[in-house]
Amino acid sequence: MGIQPWVTVEPPDYRGLRKIIVDSETVGSAWSLREMRKILSRLGYSETIDLEDSSSIHWHGGDSKTWPDHPRRRHVIIVLMIAGMLGSVILHLFIGWPDAFEGLTFAQRIVGALFILAGAVQGAAIFAIFDYWGRRQSKLSGVVVLIGALIALGTNSLLLFMWLEEREFIAYLLVFISLWVWSLWALCLLIREKPWEGVRHPNRIAVGVVATAILTAVSLAYSTMYQPTAAPVHLLLKAEFGKPQESPDPKYVHIPLRLHVKNSGGIAVYVINDDYTVAGSSVRYADSGEGLKRWKNETEESPGYVAEAERYIRNNEETIVSSGHFYGPGGWFEVGEEYTEETVIRIPKDSAFDTLEARLTIVIMRKDRGKINEEFSIPRMSWKKYEGSYYCPPVECREYGEYVAYRGRVRHNNNLINVTRRPRYVTAFWNPEFGNNDFISSFNPKKKTQVVFDKALTEKGAEEEMERESARYGAGVVFTYSEIPIKALLSRSGV
């Protein structure tokens, strides 16, 4: 065997890792004597080489027994770093994926893509953890891990801040807190290590991280605050009576009714609930002009409504002639879309109605704020036992009568809001006599009847929550009506 090159073992660094140099060339590094033997064996040295032989091996900073590595501590740090980073990767993908691929606005898709990009960076940081707490073959590995920890701290701080706005208990809260604490621990550990030392142009890297953070913040603010309010919502509604026609039964008359809606605004809208009602008014006149005094009583009887004052009307009784859905809950109107429905109202020729009024009401929700699942469009009949939790026994619902219920999950278009709040649901009720009633809230009872929901409204904070959610999802009511005098209409048409 020829003469083998001189082997030099450098002093251990602060972590206990010792470099191995052969002929002025670094051939590896070892944590222990056994690892050193493996390295020399790969280079052709005998496995039984005498490591104490000073003629072939020279030790600096300690002899063959000086191996100050703490493998258990190092392995625990690696496991904790990987566990936290992997959890943060999953969280970023969970938040960003729906927005990136299902967001209804370009800005929201950008935000989702940025979250996926952040998750990808943290995925790279997982591989960098092995190198940084290993032999550090790459100078950038520590910086990549540091950026991953900064991303985790920023994201979880944002999530906790958003959670504090409403402070609803959710299972994700434990995840946010755990990852936030982990990111603080990881940053403290990394700052003590100073991984940026030895990296070329660390300032440029810092500027890139800050610029990305600012871009994310601007995109998030634009998608959640500016854009949803910039595009106006405008629905044009019309309710028009046509010319009365003869009926096959001479005692009755047919009056055509045309209902029309057009989305003339800049944003698509969901239909949460709708109702058209045709009512006849029977009026008792007052020659003395006492009608001006009765408006106060009517206003008191109908909270939120101020009655009209008419001097020569003593009493006005309203009778519902026809009522029904117009478009149906769960549908939507795209920008520029319009819909028309024509129906026929049948009333007796000798009816005591003074006027006939048609009212069209549509409850809408901005489509750029949230997405309602398809289940919402399925009608649930309160009088059918097979409807399960929607079934309302006649004794329980005698004040409400028989009605149709609609219920479905609504998800906000900003997934950050979905993961920091309890699930939200859209619930709508319709009855031909009492019209429509609807809610957007987190209320999710086992029994989903109108009685239960009305009782829930009396609980503390319930109305405030529904008002807040209506504003968040851009819900509102659009209304129009048309009123005609019956006698004049019939006489002009010759019926």
Do residues 240 and 93 both lie within one domain? no
Least confident of 152-156, 219-223, 259-263, 428-432: 219-223
Do residues 92 and 55 both lie within one domain? no
Residue 238 scores a pLDDT above 50:
yes
Q: What's the rounded mean pLDDT across residues 235-255?
A: 90
pLDDT score of 236: 95
Q: Do 127 and 97 touch, CB atoms closer than 8 A?
A: no
- Here the tokens at position 69 are 């590595």
Task: Return the axis-axis angle of helices 141-164 and 202-221, rounded to nearest 10°.
Answer: 30
Select from 180, 209, 230 the last residue of a domain. Answer: 230
**pLDDT bracket for residue 124 (50, 70, 90):** very high
Is the residue at 409 inside a domain? yes
pLDDT score of 197: 72
Q: Which residues of 217-232 are buried (b: 16+ CB within 10 A; e: fewer)?
A: eebbebbbeebbeeee
Nearest to 474 by CA among 409, 413, 407: 413
Beta bridge partners of 30: 18
pLDDT score of 211: 64
Query: Residue 60: CB partners within 8 Å, gap ≥ 6?
Result: 8, 9, 10, 11
Q: What's the rounded mean pLDDT across residues 185-195?
A: 88
Is the residue at 268 inside a domain? yes
Do residues 442 and 313 both lie within one domain? no
The Cα–Cα gap between 417 and 98 comes to 12
Nearest to 414 by CA among 119, 104, 87: 104
Higher pLDDT, 150 or 221: 150
Query: Residue 406: CB partners within 8 Å, gap ≥ 6?
Result: 273, 329, 330, 376, 377, 378, 379, 380, 426, 427, 428, 429, 430
Nearest to 495 by CA among 349, 345, 280: 349
Q: What's the rounded mean pLDDT across residues 220-232?
A: 59
Do residues 179 and 99 both lie within one domain? yes
Do residues 118 and 220 both lie within one domain? yes
pLDDT score of 448: 92
Is the residue at 66 inside a domain? no
- Domains identified in the chain, total number: 4
pLDDT score of 107: 75
**pLDDT bracket for residue 227 (50, 70, 90):** low
Residue 283: how many CA atoms within 13 Å on its side-chain side?
15
Is the residue at 1 inside a domain? no
Residue 1 scores a pLDDT above 50:
no
pLDDT score of 493: 66
pLDDT score of 181: 97
Is the residue at 224 inside a domain? yes
Do residues 223 and 266 both lie within one domain? no
Residue 228 scores a pLDDT above 60:
no
The amino acid at 81 = M
**Percent of the chain whose pLDDT exceeds 90:** 44
Is the residue at 83 inside a domain? yes
Do residues 92 and 156 both lie within one domain? yes
Residue ranges making up the domain that contains 437: 370-473
Least confident of 205-209, 233-237, 343-347, 469-473: 205-209
pLDDT score of 118: 92
pLDDT score of 188: 92
Q: What's the rounded mean pLDDT across residues 281-290?
A: 73
The Cα–Cα gap between 138 and 292 comes to 88
The Cα–Cα gap between 372 and 390 comes to 19
Is the residue at 65 inside a domain? no
Task: Provide the CATH number for the domain around residue 273.
Answer: 2.60.40
Give pLDDT tens digits for 39-95.
777 777 777 677 776 667 778 777 777 777 777 888 898 999 999 999 999 999 999
Do residues 494 and 377 both lie within one domain? no
Do residues 153 and 225 both lie within one domain? yes
Q: Determine if residue 439 is left, alpha or beta; phi over 0 gives left, psi from -120 to 50 gives alpha, anything else beta.
A: beta
Do residues 122 and 217 both lie within one domain? yes
Average predicted confidence (pLDDT) for the chain: 85
Residue 342 scores a pLDDT above 90:
yes
Q: What's the rounded mean pLDDT across residues 450-479?
A: 90
Residue 269 scores a pLDDT above 80:
yes
Is the residue at 2 inside a domain? no
Higher pLDDT, 228 or 433: 433
pLDDT score of 110: 84
Do residues 210 and 327 both lie within one domain? no
Higher pLDDT, 110 or 332: 332
The Cα–Cα gap between 389 and 453 comes to 13
pLDDT score of 87: 96
- Here the tokens at position 245 are 């026609």
Residue 379 scores a pLDDT above 60:
yes
Do residues 158 and 226 both lie within one domain? yes
Residue 224 scores a pLDDT above 70:
no
Residue 220 scores a pLDDT above 50:
yes
